[in-house]
Amino acid sequence: MRRRTLGLVMLVFATSMLVIGTTSYRDAAHEVEELYDARLAQNARLIQGLMQAPLAQDQRAGLLASLDRALARADNADMSVAGHVYESKLVFQVSQQDQLLLRSARAPQSPLEMDRDGYASAEIDDFEWRIFALTAPEDSASPGLRVVVAEREDVRGELVTLIALRTLIPDLIGLPVLALLLWWAIGWGLRPLSRMAQQIRERDPHNLQPLMLAPLPRELETITGALNRLLDQIRSLRTREKRFIADAAHELRTPLAVLGLHAQNARDTTQPDDRREALDQLQAGVERATRLVAQLLTLARLDPDQDADHPRQRVDLLSETREALAKLSPLAGEAHLELQLEADEARDWWLTTEPGSIDTLIQNLVGNALHHAPAGSTVRVALATEAEHVTLIVDDQGPGIPAAERRRVIARFHRAGPGAGAGLGLSIVDRLVQRHGGELVLDEAPGGGLRVMVTLRHEASAGCR
């Protein structure tokens, strides 16, 4: 992230500098060209002023000779004399009435002629020259005096380039320095993220406690909160798994021990009747253990700590109930009990539920009723519907549950009375009802026994968990 951020910033900055530098270079070069043009005009006017001085002919000749010697000293690059190597690059010619009066030593042999006064560019002796010409007016002291000052374009271009480029040197030097400063600044800004990453790398895989980092930027607070929520979910998941393993081990310990005893009795006995009885007990124990395992798995699937979204589908409650009761009919016949279903076929029984939830409700509610109802009695299942919800009612004629115990029996592994099961059936029903946003009520049946009422909405909210 640090490298990507720095690379992006430097790319933007370098592009901006390129555009700004190019514009600055062009502007600086233009201004320097203007300055050099001004210098040409100034020198031409100075030379013209000197040549128009009101002097006698011999004095004028002495002035010209003096100027020629001074310029020759610069042309000879006499470094013992104060000056600059570039001053000899400026040349001039002075003429009057087509007669050359004075020229600098480095001036071209060809006349620097122009058909008009002012600035012009011309190629003379294989070099490009920038020229400025100035002619004295007819009413002056030296009418027709013409001064032409020139400078080679290659020399001028070299000087302009050097001057303009030197204005860009601070930017070129500053770019690496700026990159280092940005690298440090970005690293300092990302230090909380680095600390978070380091803490996560060094954390024990079994440590699911929340990350404790402070202070944090607002953006990292969101990330830390999401990570802590994830850790909390994982911690809850592990707790649920440990609880399930502990519950299964606790509940299966005794049935497995009993199964072992029945198997040992069947192996050790020599009497056919005793062996048959032991095997019958063994088979019954296997069936109880199988039912217990199925209930444990169902309860684990419906655990409230699970956050996974489960698909919903529209089902016909009456049809689902009838099919579930058909599966339980053999058990009812074996226990000499009668299953009775009461429902109005013409009513609307459609509702939205998780797949298999109605079958699970009927299996647990009616299964509990069949287990507790006395032989020869009736287990009654009734369906009622209203505008917004449907009600499933299961009545039995068993011993019932005291009012003080009705809320406690919903808790997992709570058994009511001797001969009770694993204490998971009503816990499974309660969790299913909660997931569908419904209501579970335990009451006394009209004929004594227990009444269980489950109310579900026609359109169960998918967000209920």
Tell me which architecture the domain covering 2-168 has in CATH: 2-Layer Sandwich (3.30)
Q: What pTM, to 2 d.p., does this model score?
A: 0.43
**Confidence class for position 425, pLDDT limits 50, 70, 90:** low
Asked if residue 70 has pLDDT above 80, the reply is: no
Candidate ranges 25-39, 93-107, 302-316; pick with highest mean pLDDT: 25-39
Which has the higher per-residue pLDDT, 107 or 255? 107
With contact defined as beta carbons under 8 Å apart, do 365 and 429 qualify?
yes
What count of other Cβ atoms lies within 10 Å of the Cβ of residue 55?
14
What does the chain come to in residues? 465
pLDDT, tens digit (0-9, with 9 covering 90-100), for 428-441: 778 878 877 888 88
Cα angle value 388/389/391 (rounded, 5°) = 160
Q: Which of 302, 28, 36, 297 is nearest to 165 (CA)?
A: 28
> What class does CATH assign to 218-301?
mainly alpha
Domain ranges of the chain: 2-168, 218-301, 313-457
Beta bridge partners of 393: 382, 453
Cβ neighbours for 251, distance < 8 A, ≥ 6 positions apart: 292, 296, 413, 422
Range in 107-111, 141-145, 174-178 the model is least confident about: 107-111
pLDDT, tens digit (0-9, with 9 covering 90-100), for 172-204: 777 788 778 887 887 777 777 777 777 777 777
pLDDT, tens digit (0-9, with 9 covering 90-100), for 195-248: 777 777 777 777 777 776 666 666 666 777 777 788 787 877 777 677 666 666
Instruction: Please tell me the distance from the alpha carbon of residue 73 to that of residue 71, in angstroms, as a whole number.
Output: 5
pLDDT for residue 422: 43
CATH number of 313-457: 3.30.565.10
Which has the higher per-residue pLDDT, 280 or 307? 280
pLDDT, tens digit (0-9, with 9 covering 90-100), for 334-363: 888 888 899 888 888 888 887 877 887 887
Identify the burial level of 463 via C-beta atoms within 10 angstroms of its C-beta, where 0-12 means exposed, 13-18 middle and 19 or more buried: exposed
